[in-house]
Amino acid sequence: MKLLKLLSIIVFVLGLACSTELENYEKGMTEKPPSELTFDKTLWLEKNGKKYPYRDKMLNDVVYNDTIRSLKKTEIIDLLGQPDRSNEDYIYYLVKQERLFFWPLHSKFMVVKFEPDSSVEWIRIHQ
């Protein structure tokens, strides 16, 4: 019984520690967050096990890039590769994930939402 209570407390605390953070972008922003690396398709697609070692370092260069925002859905998929997840008008690219064994503790995704004509409505970082 004590183990069940302890496990419940741990799950509750982990739930409180999780947050949803969406960083908004407006076209033509002059103050864009810096990126450690500029976008490189080969590095973006590189995967070691379940991790993408370079995506977090070049994320801001992708999210705040007006050229990428001008592409259609098929062009974005050609450029960034197959998304890790998709549904209806959204595609999700896993950027970074911290795990405890097989449980994800913290995940960071880049989410792209498309208009009905398949143009980009917005690109956001979701954590």
Note the pLDDT of residue 108: 93
Note the pLDDT of residue 110: 95
pLDDT at 114 over 80: yes
Note the pLDDT of residue 97: 86
CA 125 to CA 127: how far, in whole Å? 7
Sheet holding 90-100, edge to edge: 85-87, 90-100, 103-114, 120-126
- Per cent of the chain over pLDDT 90 is 54
- Per cent of the chain over pLDDT 70 is 75
Note the pLDDT of residue 19: 43
CA 61 to CA 116: how far, in whole Å? 25
User: Is the distance from CB of 110 to CB of 92 less than 8 angstroms?
Assistant: yes
Note the pLDDT of residue 27: 55
Long-range pairs of 16-19 with CB within 8 A, sequence gap ≥ 24: 18/106, 19/127
pTM to 2 decimals?
0.73
Is the model more confident about 24 or about 88?
Answer: 88
Note the pLDDT of residue 18: 45
How deeply is 103 buried, as exposed, middle or buried, from its count of CB atoms within 10 A (0-12, 13-18, 19+)?
Answer: exposed
Q: Residues 54, 121, 24, 18: what is their CA dihedral angle, to the nearest 10 degrees?
A: -70
Domains, the chain, ranges and CATH? 21-126 (3.30.1450)
pLDDT digits (tens, 9 = 90+) for 11-61: 554 454 444 443 455 555 556 677 788 999 999 999 998 899 999 999 999
